[in-house]
Amino acid sequence: MIASLTTFTEGDWIVHRQYGIGQIKKREEKTISGKCEEYYRVQTPDSVIWLPVNKLDRSWFRPIATPNDFHEAIDILQKPPQKMDPDFMKRKDRINRVQTENSIPAIARLIRDLCGRRCHKTLSDTEQRALRHLTERFVAEWSVSTKIDIAIARSKLNNFLNGPQLRLAN
C-alpha cells in the first residue's frame, strides 16, 4: 500500500473515484494557466489524467486494493443480497456514498444488492448506470490487483452475480 499519495512512483496503480483505475506513467512539469507545476501522468483505460503532485486530494484517490481486499469482496458477492430501501432517493444516496467512499467491500455490497434488486424489480436509469460503472471498475481493478485476465475476472463476477443466492432477497 502506498503510504502517501505524494510518494507515487512510475508504475504505481491508483484508483480515482471518478475515473477508476490508472497507472502512474511519469512525473513531469506542465504549464497550465501560466503556472508551471509538477504532475503525475496517469493512464486510465479510457484517457490520460494529470494529477498535481503537491495538491492531490486524498478523498479522490486511493492505492489499488490488495488481493486480500478482493477475497473479502468475493465473500460478500457470494452472500445473499440485502434488501434495498424502497425509497429511490435513499438508494441514490447509497450509490453516491459508495462511489465517494471508493472501497472494494462497499462496491461489492452495492453491486450484489443492485443485482439482487434487478432480479425482482426494474432498476432506475441511475441504478443501471451505477451498476455498469461500478462493475467495470471492479473487474478492471480485480484484474490488475490479482494479475488475472480481465475476461476471466468478468466471467467470475458474472457467475457470482447470476448465482441462486440473488433470488433470496428483495
- Please identify, among 63, 88, 104, the residue that sits at the C-terminal boundary of a domain: 63
Q: How confident is the model at residue 73, as a pLDDT? A: 97
- Please identify, among 63, 94, 113, the residue that sits at the C-terminal boundary of a domain: 63
CA distance 143 to 33: 37
Q: What is the CATH number of the domain that holds 52?
A: 2.40.10.170
Q: How confident is the model at residue 1, as a pLDDT? A: 36
CB contact at 8 A, 38 and 54: yes
Q: How many domains does the chain have?
A: 2
In this structure, the answer to whether residues 73 and 111 fall within a common structural domain is yes
In this structure, the answer to whether residues 88 and 161 fall within a common structural domain is yes
Range of the domain at 100: 67-168
In this structure, the answer to whether residues 51 and 78 fall within a common structural domain is no
Q: How confident is the model at residue 17, as a pLDDT? A: 83
Q: How confident is the model at residue 8, as a pLDDT? A: 83
CA distance 60 to 31: 23
In this structure, the answer to whether residues 36 and 74 fall within a common structural domain is no
Q: How confident is the model at residue 60, as a pLDDT? A: 79
pTM of the model: 0.86
Q: How confident is the model at residue 167, as a pLDDT? A: 57
In this structure, the answer to whether residues 53 and 132 fall within a common structural domain is no
Q: How confident is the model at residue 129, as a pLDDT? A: 97
In this structure, the answer to whether residues 50 and 72 fall within a common structural domain is no
In this structure, the answer to whether residues 79 and 14 fall within a common structural domain is no
In this structure, the answer to whether residues 46 and 110 fall within a common structural domain is no
Q: What is the residue-level pLDDT of the chain in tens, covering all 170 positions?
A: 333 445 788 999 999 888 899 999 999 999 888 889 998 999 998 899 988 888 777 777 888 999 999 999 999 999 999 999 999 999 999 999 999 988 999 999 999 999 999 988 999 999 999 999 999 999 999 999 999 999 999 999 999 888 766 655 54
In this structure, the answer to whether residues 72 and 26 fall within a common structural domain is no
In this structure, the answer to whether residues 44 and 118 fall within a common structural domain is no
Q: How confident is the model at residue 31, as a pLDDT? A: 87
In this structure, the answer to whether residues 116 and 128 fall within a common structural domain is yes
CB contact at 8 A, 123 and 135: no
Alpha carbon 47 to its chain's center: 16
- Please identify, among 63, 81, 108, the residue that sits at the C-terminal boundary of a domain: 63
CB contact at 8 A, 111 and 131: yes
Closest CA to 109 of 142, 77, 64, 152: 77
In this structure, the answer to whether residues 19 and 72 fall within a common structural domain is no
Q: What is the CATH number of the domain that holds 86?
A: 1.20.58.1290
- Count the neighbouring beta carbons within 10 Å of the beta carbon of residue 131: 20
